[in-house]
Each structure stands twice: as C-alpha cells, then as structure tokens.
Structure 1
C-alpha cells in the first residue's frame, strides 16, 4: 500500500498522465515510402508506429484506412530518456501526412508533455498532436530523418485488436501458372475468364469480383469464416457471393484489394 501511494505521489509531482498501450508496429528499412509501408486497416484502432533512423535523409512511411466521419488522431512521441530527450526539436524526423480531398499537414512539434505508458511502465514525451475529422480513404504518413533518432507515432484511440497488412499484392504462384491453360500474364485488356476457370482449386484459387481478378490462394487458410467459403469461389465470378457477405464493409474490401491481379478481359 505504501509503495502504491508513493508511486501516485511521484506521478502527481511529475505532472504525468497515464496512457493505455498501443498495438506496436515497427517500420522496416524497406518501408521507404507510405505505399511500401504497412497499412493499418482501421486507422481508428490504437497503434504505436515505431521508427528508428541512423542518419539524415532516411525515409519511412505507412498508411491508415479511415471512413467518412472517423476521427483522424495521431501523436508524435519520444521516450523520455537519452539520447532522444536530449535532442532539439529541429534534430528529430519530420512528419508529413497526406490524405483524401487534398489533405496535407506537417506535424508541429510544439509541446513536451510527460506521460507514463502503463503496460511497459515507460515514460514518454508528447511532442505534437493532431485531431480532425477524416474523409473516406487512405491517409499516408511519411517520416524524414534529420539525423540519428527513434520516435513513436500514436495513431487511433480504440483499444481493440487491429489488422495490419504488409507487402504488395500477391503475384500468381508457380502452381497457378502451371495449371492455367494460357499465360498467367494479362493481355493489354486484362485476364481472361478461361484463366480464372483454370485456377479453381485450393492450390491456385482465382476469382472475379466486380470485373477484377483476384488470387485468393493465400487467403484460404486465413479466412475468419473458414477455408470452405473461399474454396467455393475458386475459378468463378464471385461478385454476388462477396457482396452478399461483405457489402459496404471496409475491412474485407481492403483485404480483397491486396490480392488483386488485374482487370477481367471483356
């Protein structure tokens, strides 16, 4: 009891604020643009995007999907310990955020507010915050370093599990190419329905949705509704089935887009 009271007194004296844990996402060396970086499927979910730089001029980025009227919330933070807390604001990476409707803002580092991240018992410093109403679409975040530094961006505020997508859209697998009766590469007009029908198994599963061809092979064993729901779509025009299950749902649409191969040839 005495230890708890001492901790409360210490935090009060420091003027700190307790904050919940964010789901961590580390930016990689290959995340050199927002398009190459990870996609937060729901940008209202609480994420902690961590980025480390070794020299000036390095870039790292990521994206966040938001719906019309969602809260666009993000914060710029550093750990309250050396070397980061000894750096001047002008030595830290810049952050530029762009989005739908011509949205563009450069994060202003204009505060230095302490808070305790309770999960790891780590002290941080808020250096800047942004809050506005989002338009529907993808928001891109790009950091550019001015020297060696590590920072954290807090995105979203809902303390629920979130989904993060990485990497480009999957390309046709070797088995898909072998089983297709024609080349897996599209013509200038797109993929043919003959190619789609040839990829009709769990080993190579293509489907058409709204006149676009998708390779769903890697999604079969990850589908929350079970593999059978995807296998039944292999080699078919699955537009009606997909819309019956996921009409106007953002997360399935974003997930589906990551498996797009190209347009269906008319």
Structure 2
C-alpha cells in the first residue's frame, strides 16, 4: 500500500494528476516559498503528499511545513526521477533536506540509496534517495530544501490514504495540533493585490474566490503560456471555467498554486 501511495503521489507531482487527488496530493513549491514561514502548510502531515521542488542554480531554498499530533508517525521520503540531469548527479550535488521539529531539533536526510522504483501510472522510473521515519512531537515541523546545482526532487510526506489533505498558503497561524481536524486561520488577499501582480514575472489570479500564484504554471501549461498570462491580475473565474469546465485535471493542478482566500 505504501508504494501505491507514493506512485500516485509521484504521478501528481510530475504530470497532470487525475482527480480527485485524495490523499496523494501534489504540492508544487513556488519560487516565493524560500522559508518554512513563507511556504505552504500541510495541515495534517500524516496524509500522503508529494511535494515538488525544482531549482535552477546552487544555493536556492524552498520550504514548507506540516502539522502533527503527538505520537503520529513522521514518514518522509526523498526521490528523484530516474533521468538526466538528476540521475547523473553525485549525492553531494543533489539538494539537501533538513527537517526541524516543533522544539527546534533538526535532522538532515542522508542520501543512502538509489533504489529503482517503477511508477506504472505514467510508465516512469524513479529513484529513492532517502527514507526517514520517527514518532512525531505535537506541533508544526519545517522542511527546508537547499539546492547544490540545477535539479528537481520530490519529498514524500505522510502515508495515510483515502482522505483529502488540506494545504494552506499565506500568513498562517496554525492552531496547535491537538485533534484530528485542526482549524488554522489564514489571512486573505485583496483584489487590489491581485491586480498589482499582473505580469509573467509575477502572475496572480482570483478564481472562485481564491487567489493563486500562477507564475510557475506559465511555462509548463500544456495549452501554451498565453492561456495563463491572460489571467494575470484578473478575476479569472469565467475564463478558467469556460476553458476547462468541470475537468478535474486542471482543477487539481490549479490547487497546487493556491495562496489563500480572496477577501471581498
């Protein structure tokens, strides 16, 4: 079952995922996610997520957070796709991952393997680099990924299947994780802020009363960059629905770029 969870999660991280994502949610780290405080919060870190981090040069940082209850299992895997350039890089050239617990103690993932993993859904080969498990403390863990050269990695977090996990972006003040359903609060964004981010270099759009940073989607949108740049700085609800209707794949991909709610 664990390999099934990773397989579906990896599919979501590297190609347009099928919907619903269920527990195997892809999360794409944005260029603005340079610290744990700025990065997304996985509200329940026991749910299976595939967090994608791509880098273009050495020294870049991307980060995220995950919430746990005391006694939860902390389950983390570091993986790369089995193709160039990643699979030709030495371990010393691949990004580092540092996990910091709620009390400030840090653990660095040690690359100790290159175990092949065939993902049947997209007929793609991956490599496990590191796997780490421990008993979680109560609170929020931070995950900081630092590049050492151009590369992309996926961090698998959690192993609980069959539930939809929540991902929050923006100024998040999480309630201490003391129940199965935490209720963090998150500040929203104004339409004025959306309108100010109206270029290919910083592209925000409001869709269905939520604000998304679509900057990283411009270059990877299968329908061409123009379809995304036309949404920059606008309420793109009508355009997005008109193009995709109820299609699950674009909606699931869109969710990976969520910043937070639109304040009206």
**TM-score bracket for the superposition, by shorter chain length:** 0.5 to 0.7
> Normalising by the residue count of structure 1, what TM-score does the alignment of the two structures yield?
0.59
- Structure 1 match to 2:166: 163
> Normalising by the residue count of structure 2, what TM-score does the alignment of the two structures yield?
0.59
Identify which of 152, 155, 160 aligns with 1:153: 155
Q: Does 2:53 align with 1:123?
A: no
SS at structure 2 position matched to 1:21: helix
- Structure 2 match to 1:258: 186
Q: Which runs of 5+ in 1 are unaligned?
A: 1-16, 171-246, 261-266
Q: Which runs of 5+ in 2 are unaligned?
A: 10-24, 189-264
d(CA) in 2 for partners of 1:99, 1:148: 28
d(CA) in 2 for partners of 1:28, 1:92: 19
The verdict on how the C-alpha distance between 1:252 and 1:128 changes in structure 2, with shifts beyond 3 A counting, is closer
**Larger RCO (CA within 8 A; separation ≥ 6):** 2
SS at structure 2 position matched to 1:251: coil
- Structure 2 match to 1:96: 98
Q: Does 2:66 align with 1:138?
A: no
- Structure 1 match to 2:45: 43
SS at structure 1 position matched to 2:181: helix
- Structure 2 match to 1:249: 179
- Structure 2 match to 1:79: 81
State whether residues 28 and 52 of structure 2, in contact with CA within 8 Å, keep that contact through their aligned partners in structure 1: yes
Q: Which has the larger radius of gyration?
A: 1
- Structure 2 match to 1:28: 30
The verdict on how the C-alpha distance between 1:248 and 1:79 changes in structure 2, with shifts beyond 3 A counting, is closer
Structure 1 position 248, deviation (Å): 5.2
Structure 1 position 119, deviation (Å): 3.1
Please list every run of at least 4 consecutive aligned residues from structure 1 whose deviation after the TM superposition is greater than 4 angstroms: none
What are the Cα deviations for residues 161-205 of structure 1, in whole angstroms up to 9, with x where unaligned? 2110011259xxxxxxxxxxxxxxxxxxxxxxxxxxxxxxxxxxx
Structure 1 position 250, deviation (Å): 5.1
d(CA) in 2 for partners of 1:113, 1:136: 32
d(CA) in 2 for partners of 1:152, 1:168: 24
d(CA) in 1 for partners of 2:187, 2:47: 23
State whether residues 72 and 131 of structure 1, in contact with CA within 8 Å, keep that contact through their aligned partners in structure 2: yes
CA RMSD of aligned residues (A): 2.3
State whether residues 80 and 125 of structure 1, in contact with CA within 8 Å, keep that contact through their aligned partners in structure 2: yes
The verdict on how the C-alpha distance between 1:69 and 1:34 changes in structure 2, with shifts beyond 3 A counting, is same
SS at structure 2 position matched to 1:20: helix
Structure 1 position 158, deviation (Å): 1.2
The 5 A counterparts of 1:182-221 are none
